Structures are given as structure tokens and as C-alpha cells.
Amino acid sequence: MYYHVFRLCPHPLLHKCRAVLILQLDQYPLTTEIEKRLIPHIVQLVLPPDGHRFCLGNWNSAQLTSFASALLPADSSEAIEAVLLDFSRTLVPRIDVIWEARKQAKYIEAVENSAGADLISLQALQRK
């Protein structure tokens, strides 16, 4: 289910939503050296099909190993935690946005398939 919604669902509304959210991740401001090193690495961990796990804090061992490879011995646990907590404020809401887009896509599909579908209302919904 997650893989379908987060990566595979071909509905134009979900495709647009995912593209906007990826752009948002790419534009995240990187102000410190540790952010410049860790955030791009985290973004790469979020993009694969199981990336939603990373957003939810349910990291698999491959994600943990990959993330650990971006750390330096001088990185303090407090600095790492600060980066993760700050960036999680971007990651966690993106899951809610994707689910909302999915609900809207499913609603549009249901209306399209109903006998009394109103073409003007459908076009207005699809532009959102």
C-alpha cells in the first residue's frame, strides 16, 4: 500500500504532489556544515520506494548503514539529533500531504466513474 501511494500510483494528482514535495526537499536551506553533509544524504534515503520508513523513524538496517556512512567522528550526538529533528518537520508533514492527495485522487476517480458525473466540477477538482 505505501509503495503504491508513495511511489507508484500513476494518478496525475499524486504525481504532481510527489514532484512538488521532492522539489521542496531539494530547496531545503542548508546553513551548517553538518546540514550540508547530512540533509542531501537523508533526501536520497527518502526517495526510494521504502523511503517513507525513514520519514516515520522506522529505518531499516540498510538506511541506518547508509546514514552512518555520512557521519564524521567529530559529529556530536546533539548536533545529529538537532539536524534530524529540524528536518523531520519537513519530512513528517509530507506524508500527510501525500495521503491527502491520494484521498482527493480517489474521490475524483469515484466521481468520474459515477453515472451523474458533472464535467465542470471534475475539471475544477483536477486543477487543485
pLDDT digits (tens, 9 = 90+) for 26-56: 899 999 999 999 999 998 888 876 776 776 6
Please give the C-alpha separations between residue 54 and each of 8, 49, 59, in angstroms, as whole numbers.
Answer: 18, 11, 5
- Average pLDDT of the segment spanning 112-121: 67
> CA-CA distance, 117 to 113, in Å (whole number)?
7
Return the domain boundaries, the chain.
2-127
pLDDT digits (tens, 9 = 90+) for 69-87: 999 999 999 999 999 999 9
Residue 126's Cβ-count burial label (10 Å; 0-12, 13-18, 19+) is middle
Residue 7 has pLDDT above 70, yes or no: no
- Average pLDDT of the segment spanning 18-29: 88
pTM: 0.71
